Amino acid sequence: QVQLVESGGGLVQPGGSLRLSCAASGRTFSNYYVGWFRQTPGKEREFVAIINKSGVNTNYADSVKGRFTISRDNSKNTVYLQMNSLKPEDTAVYYCTADGDPIAIVSTRGHFWGQGTQVTVSS
């Protein structure tokens, strides 16, 4: 089992920045791809970003490309999502997910999920 805990959410003004963290415990974290998703009420969970096991390769949704950066520190069992130039439409609950299969993650079928952290972008 892998337990995931997100943190770092909050209220920020448009144009501001936040850094989310996804801390893992349990099995060897470096064996897993990790993704970030977000969800607003009444909508399906939306893919945001994914990072491979070593942290070398990443991929992003078009809506966040150039503004968000996903990274990981396997020595700390943590994945980060640096969010810059935030917009009101980035408001959502953000979730991290881990799986050994990257296709499962981008298909919203990751095996392990955190409980989510709320990000609100508003003036």
Residue type, 103: I
Number of other CB atoms surrounding residue 33 within 10 Å: 22
Contact between 19 and 86 under an 8 Å Cβ cutoff? The reply is no
Q: Which of 37, 43, 33 is nearest to 95 (CA)?
A: 37
Q: What's the confidence (pLDDT) of residue 1?
A: 83
The model's pLDDT over 88-120, given as tens digits with 9 standing for 90+, comes to: 999 999 999 999 999 999 999 999 999 999 999
CB 109 within 8 A of CB 56: no
Q: pLDDT (tens digit, 9 = 90+) per residue, 61-78? A: 999 999 999 999 999 999
